[in-house]
Structures are given as structure tokens and as C-alpha cells.
Structure 1
């Protein structure tokens, strides 16, 4: 894992070096952190630059991006850090960077790494034929699994069988796009295990089954519409292949359907147990690391997840990962790019937290009614649209706190507001490749298997066409 966090480590070293040289006490900054009300929108330039790099460079210079994306991520990290240290002092910057790394980025990457590693050791054998019925069934199964083993786990278990089932078809891009919609995002809305934003809500006090009860109808409406749309679309493309010379199947096999690597299934269950225990076990012990308080259960959870990933590597025969087409590049890419995202997003989140006193006050006004009451449709769309570009986990926290931050009150008096925030964060993470980490991992795997995936903006054209009407319907049904 150290090689997968180069950008984060480099960023921390720059800030730590400034601290050592200046001797500024880190703990002095602990109480307040960055005052978002004092920040201008110019501090968001590195974050916007990072997003534009992800969107544009692969399209214009794909070979350069493939070999240098880590350097690009490091560049934008330094573009933020150097003026940050000069403007606010190394003590405050160290606190903010360490806080983001220890409480957000590192647990985020460890969870993804564990699910990626363990699920990569599970092989669905046999070669399904990617008919419209088979593809729709796989998407439906993945949508259900996403709330049980997480969007990352479900995505990693099913994306390779789906790609193998369709690798002899000429038209298969839409299959991966809808997979990202349903399995990598929308399906994870029913439990805190499904998607990181809901897990953060669980840690804040939201009951485990609250989302199951309050988001089931939202998920059912969107899921049924998208599955029906996919089936009709897949039938259209399937019919276009009839009468043409069959494409050579790159992965022919006479092996029957089966499941290999079943010893990894208890490890997936172990991931679920580790996450649950980290929230339920409250010994009251925490570690103060450069001003950031890290609870003991969080440390034990992350160590347990790394241990489970290690066990998976140890017990899984090499041929299973080879047949899965498994390699470490997708998780390396996600780790490096999201290190820069989590870092450059720090001032943006601070501005949002400042609410009406910050430079993004007009956005805050969009979620507040004339009498000061929450405007639920505004919460749904603002949480969702920002989740599509800012990563849905920190965005969820911003609007959770903006709505009061009291889990008991949000689950009862303002239940629809919490429903809007939760649905927006989970569902609209599907709007872009960077809205949710599994999106990028699926993209990387599909491209490595030869699928001509759409560009950043090309994908947004797909999501705009199929997702935005669904979200408009949800707004009319539940949030107005």
C-alpha cells in the first residue's frame, strides 16, 4: 500500500517539513481548523484543476496520462500546499492535512483496497452469453448485492464476469455505463455498508436500518426504471448484431458455471463485521496524532481490514486472480488520484461549512426556505450535484451538518431532509466518473479489457440522459 499513497505522503511531507522548519505548534490549530469564511473561491482552483485534469488529459493525451497521472496529482497537491503554508502557517496546514488523511483518506483507501483485494479472489467460472436477459439479470443481482457487500465489493465481484459475458459483442459500452449507475452507486443505498456516505451517517448516529426503511422506495423507483431502460437499450444493440459475422470470443471456455475462491466469502463477511464493530464498540480510547483524534475502534478496524486483505492474498491460488484479469493498477490509480482530491478539496469543504458566511453562500441559500426551514428538494439536488464532483462522502457530511447535525432529530422531525441528503449523495455519485470511487475502478478495469469507454464528458452525456429524468421524478414524488 505505501506505493499507492505517494501523492498523499508527499503532500504530508511538504507540510511537515514546513512545520519542522518553522517550529509552529500544531496543536494550536486544532481547535478551529481553517476558517472557511475567510477563504475566497480562488482556493478552489487546485481542486478544479485536478478535476479538469482527470476529465481532459486522458482525452487529449491518453498515453501521457497513463504514465504520469500520479505526477499530475502531486502537482495539483503542491499547487495548493505551497501557498497554503505561506498564507496560514505550517501548523494549521499540518493539522488540516493530517486530519483529512487519518480520518478520511486512509480509512477510505484501506476499505477500497480490502474489498478490491478480497473480491478479486472470487471467480465466477463459465462464460455467460451476454444476452439482454442475462445482462439485465446480472445488473439486478449486483444492485441487490451492493447494499450487502458495498458498491466496491459488488462492483469488483461482478464487473469481470459481465465483461467476459459481453466480450464477443460489438456494442458493450452501455452495459458498463449502466453497471456504474446501478451496481457502483444506486444499489448501495439501503445500508451503511453500501456506500461511504451512509457509513459516515451511521458513525454520526443514524440507525443501521434507517436507510433501508426510508430509501427503499426511492431505490426501487430508480432501479426499476433504469433496469427497464437498459433491457430495451440492450435489445436494440443486440438486434444490430444479428446477421453479422460473429466476433471471435476472446475468452472461450467449455467450463460450466461455478464459483471459485469461495474461501474469500468469509473474508467479505469479516469486512462487514469489522465495519460494524468499529461503530458499535466505544471504549472511549483515542490517539491524538498532531491534533487529530483517532478513536481506537477506527484503528482496529483499519488493521483488521488490512489483515483480511493479507489473508486473501495468502489463501487465494494465483490462477484465480490471473483468470480474473486481476492487477493492482486500478487501485493504484484510484489511490493516487483520490489522494489529490481529498487534499485539494480541503478549502472547498471549509467554504461550504462556513454556510451563509462563506464564498458559496448562494449555494447554502438554495437549501433553505423563506422561513428558515429546510428545503428538501434543494438538499437533494445540492447534495447530489456536488457529490458528483466533490466525492459523495465529504459532501454528505457537509449537508448533514448544515441540516443541524443531530442524527436523532434528522431521523424523526426532519426525516425527509435526511432522506434527501442520503439519496442525493448515493444516487448522484453516478453522475461522473469521480463521484464515487468504484466508478473509477470499474472504468479502469473496463478500459484494461479493451472496452472503448466514453470520455469524462461523454459519460456525463449518458448520465444526464438517463439519470437526470429519474432524479426529477424522485423530486416530484418525495421531496417537494
Structure 2
């Protein structure tokens, strides 16, 4: 957090300088830099998410929707009225709708699927389940894999469930697992849409992915080997059979994943809305929400009940992320301006790209963070992210020195660091909410970071940097 504030201070200096130039040069109102203090609502929201459930739980649980909406509205109103910039709020609103449409569709479709593992919860069984979840995250996304596997994972460990089980699930399935394909995580998909070859992530992310996964599974085993059942009842070893109910919902799941590719950059014939040069299409989102509705009403109600399905976790994510998407607009813009400045470009190296992308992917939406850092990295070497040929050349290292390493650093950091906080990636909050609904007392925002992320995940991320980017 302090590093975040420090970098925002640097961007404030750049912002002030650029505003001074703007007084003497006529420019578009949309290019006016936001003042530094406009990032404070975002910081305030993060602090309240971190401390609210711990220090003023009753007030927070009752009023957090109002707080999130009020802070988001105030920032967006300042952009529209004072800065005369309606483009940024519209972009943020469009991104929020895209985010919630995917989360909603996957949550509902997987809620009608019941996977039961008739086995004794051993360290090996859990490690296999986590590894399979990590693999499938590359086919159905980290959100899809998280929603599909969290309930059988909870069921398997019902006699010995501990907080660390959920935390490692977030680390492995909800984040790091999805680094191998553009389908796995939103920033990688955006890179694919911009021109990064589909197979690029598999080629360049495989070794770091495998190393990170092995290290996490080893640490998980160290926790698991000393775990004992919560009750003294005799536990049946089970038959080892995996049964799946509600398999027709996999059809809805396939349609949702296919809909992800319904983007105007891939299919130019899709109907779009042109807003001040920005193309917006909600065909994908309408299809996802339609499929979600069909999936809900066609799902076996017995399966929904056995899964403990409710809209409460979805409602919580929906409201919290209104605040996050609305208040992060100036923070992202200030970071982007600093990265594009002469001072920022002088600081661009694989190391700064890795830690910079990682830091902001921990507390901001990792998709726009990825795009900002890729754009800055390419601009520093004279390339343009809006030119597909430039992106392809950058990804393959055909022209630009060290470009593959730079892009690799950004790609891995945007995915891996999403596990550092509950808000680093959409599935994190969903998994937390589902676990709490199942009766598990999850650590607060701050405790999650200081008890698990910093002592377990941060050293692992440091090792990835040492092995692949430090030199």
C-alpha cells in the first residue's frame, strides 16, 4: 500500500507538470490529467475493505454497498463535470458490465453442476484436485475452474477443513493456474486480442507456471501432512469414484466460454456502438446473461440446494466491484501517464515491469493494468500497442531487444500477483464468499495479506523473479 502511494506521488508530479503545459496549449478536455487526490477514494475503499470486517463489522456489512456506490459515483461525477471527460467513466462502466456478465454466467452455470469425490481427504487427493483445477483453468478460465471445483473441494475436506485450504485454492486454481492460455485470465486474453499469438503464453509461461505450481503444492503439502480431522469419527476411505451430476450444464459452460471470443476485434461484423472513437459491443454480455438465465431455470433444483447455491456471494462481488471499478479510474490513468513519461520510460526494465505490474495487479483490475504496462513498455522501444504488426513483432522478439522478456514479465505478474489480495482477481472474492457461506471463517483483507500472501506467496514470486527476470 505504501509503495502504491509512493508511485502515485510520482505520477502526481507528472500530472501537475502536464496540467501546467495544458494551460498554454489548447487540448481536448479528455486529455486533462486527473489530480493526485482523486485517487484517494480508491485508497479509502481499499482501507475500508481491509479494516471494515475487523474493526466495525456491523456497520460495514450493513453499509458497504452505499459506501462503494457513493465513492464510485463521486469519482465518475468529477470526471464528467469537472474534467469534462465522459469517456473514462463510460469505459469503466463497460468493463464492469463485461466483468460481471462473465462472473455471473460462470457462477450460475457451475452452480448446477455437482462434482462429488468419494474419497478420504488425503494430502495427495487434495494436491491432485488442485492440480487438475489449475490445468482446467486454462480451458474454462480461472473463474470457471474456481466455481466448478470449490464446492467439491469443500465437500472433500468437510471433516478437516482449515483456512489454508481456501487460501491455497485461491493461489493455485483462481490465479496462477490460468497462466498458460489466453482463455485462462483476462489480461492474457486482452493481449491475444491486441495481437499476441495464441500459443505465446503456452510457450513462454509454461516453465515459470510449472515451477510456481510445484513450489506452491510442496508448501501446501507441508501444511497438509500435520492436519487432522476436526472430529474423532471414523472416516471411510471411500471408493475413489468421482461422480458428476447436472452434466447438461456443461453445455451452458461451453457456450459461455465460446462467447468470450465474440469480440469486434475478432469478428468485425458484430454490431457495435461507437462512442468518441471507442468501440463498444455488448453482444457477448447479452449472450452470457441469457445463457445464465437459461442455466438457472433449467438446473436441477436438488443439485442447487445440495451445492448450497444462493445469489448472496454474487451480490457481494457485484456491489464491492462497483466501488473498485469506479474509483480506480484516476489511479490507472495516473499510472499510465507516469509510465508513458520520459522518467517512467527510463525506469522500464523487465524487473520494474514485473514488480510494477504485479503491485498494481494486486489491488487494481489486472486487465487494464496489463494493457497500461504493455503499452508503456512498447512505447519505450518505439512500438505502438494499437498496431497489430507491432504487437506481433514485440511478442516474437523479431525487432525489439528484450521485448519477449519484458512481455513475459508483464504477463506472469498480472496473473500471479492477482492472488496477493482478495480483490486482485474476480474469483478470489467469489471463493471467499462461498467459503464463508459454507461456515468457514475467512481471514480479513489485511490478515489474508499478512498471514498468507506475504509469508507464503511473496517469497515464491521473488523466486520467480530471481530465476527468470533478475538477470
Superposition TM-score tier, normalisation by shorter sequence? 0.7 to 0.9
Distance in 2 between residues matched to 1:81 and 1:107, nearest whole Å: 18
Cα displacement (A) at 1:391: 2.0
Distance in 2 between residues matched to 1:412 and 1:208, nearest whole Å: 12
Q: Are 2:425 and 1:451 aligned?
A: no
Distance in 1 between residues matched to 2:302 and 2:339, nearest whole Å: 56
Give the counterpart of 1:283 among 269, 276, 292. 269
- TM superposition score normalised by structure 2: 0.84
Q: Are 2:390 and 1:399 aligned?
A: no
1:384-405 CA-to-partner distances (Å, cap 9, x unmatched) read 1110011211111110111122
DSSP-derived class of the 2:274 partner: strand
Give the counterpart of 1:119 among 110, 124, 130. 110
Cα displacement (A) at 1:324: 0.6
Aligned pair in 2 of structure 1 residues 57, 125: CA closer, same or farther (>3 Å)?
same
| Aligned residue number for residue 172 of structure 1 | 162
Give the counterpart of 1:191 among 172, 181, 202. 181
**Structure 1 ranges of 4+ moved more than 6 A:** 253-256
Aligned pair in 2 of structure 1 residues 292, 331: CA closer, same or farther (>3 Å)?
farther
- TM superposition score normalised by structure 1: 0.83
Most deviating of 187-196 and 421-430: 187-196
Distance in 2 between residues matched to 1:67 and 1:128, nearest whole Å: 40
Cα-Cα RMSD: 2.5
Aligned pair in 2 of structure 1 residues 402, 247: CA closer, same or farther (>3 Å)?
farther
Cα displacement (A) at 1:80: 2.3
Are the counterparts in 2 of residues 99 and 292 from structure 1 also a CA contact under 8 Å?
A: no
DSSP-derived class of the 2:102 partner: helix
Most deviating of 460-469 and 152-161: 460-469
Q: Are 2:294 and 1:311 aligned?
A: yes
Cα displacement (A) at 1:83: 4.2
DSSP-derived class of the 1:237 partner: coil
Distance in 2 between residues matched to 1:284 and 1:124, nearest whole Å: 36
Distance in 2 between residues matched to 1:153 and 1:356, nearest whole Å: 33
| Aligned residue number for residue 331 of structure 2 | 348
Cα displacement (A) at 1:32: 6.5
Distance in 2 between residues matched to 1:455 and 1:115, nearest whole Å: 25
Are the counterparts in 1 of residues 340 and 376 from structure 2 also a CA contact under 8 Å?
A: no
Give the counterpart of 2:259 among 260, 274, 295. 274
Aligned pair in 2 of structure 1 residues 86, 216: CA closer, same or farther (>3 Å)?
same
Residue correspondence of structure 1 range 308-457 to structure 2 within 5 A = 308-355=291-338, 364=344, 368=346, 374-404=348-378, 405=385, 406-413=390-397, 414-457=403-446
| Aligned residue number for residue 285 of structure 2 | 302
Aligned pair in 2 of structure 1 residues 64, 167: CA closer, same or farther (>3 Å)?
farther
Residue correspondence of structure 1 range 217-256 to structure 2 within 5 A = 217-238=207-228, 241=229, 246=232
Aligned pair in 2 of structure 1 residues 248, 84: CA closer, same or farther (>3 Å)?
farther
Cα displacement (A) at 1:333: 1.1
Are the counterparts in 1 of residues 71 and 326 from structure 2 also a CA contact under 8 Å?
A: no
Cα displacement (A) at 1:214: 0.8
Distance in 2 between residues matched to 1:448 and 1:459, nearest whole Å: 18
1:40-97 CA-to-partner distances (Å, cap 9, x unmatched) read 32111001011111111011122332232211211212342454455324xx2x3321
Q: Are 2:468 and 1:478 aligned?
A: yes
Q: Are 2:288 and 1:293 aligned?
A: no
Cα displacement (A) at 1:132: 1.3
Cα displacement (A) at 1:258: 0.9
DSSP-derived class of the 1:354 partner: helix
| Aligned residue number for residue 88 of structure 2 | 96
1:283-303 CA-to-partner distances (Å, cap 9, x unmatched) read 2753124x36335xx422222
Aligned pair in 2 of structure 1 residues 126, 136: CA closer, same or farther (>3 Å)?
closer
Distance in 2 between residues matched to 1:428 and 1:283, nearest whole Å: 36
Runs of 5+ unmatched residues, structure 1:
1-29
Distance in 1 between residues matched to 2:208 and 2:353, nearest whole Å: 15
Aligned pair in 2 of structure 1 residues 184, 284: CA closer, same or farther (>3 Å)?
closer
| Aligned residue number for residue 265 of structure 1 | 250
Most deviating of 121-130 and 111-120: 121-130
Aligned length: 426
Are the counterparts in 2 of residues 147 and 188 from structure 1 also a CA contact under 8 Å?
A: yes
Aligned pair in 2 of structure 1 residues 236, 355: CA closer, same or farther (>3 Å)?
same
Cα displacement (A) at 1:209: 1.6
| Aligned residue number for residue 197 of structure 2 | 207
Runs of 5+ unmatched residues, structure 2:
1-26, 379-384, 398-402
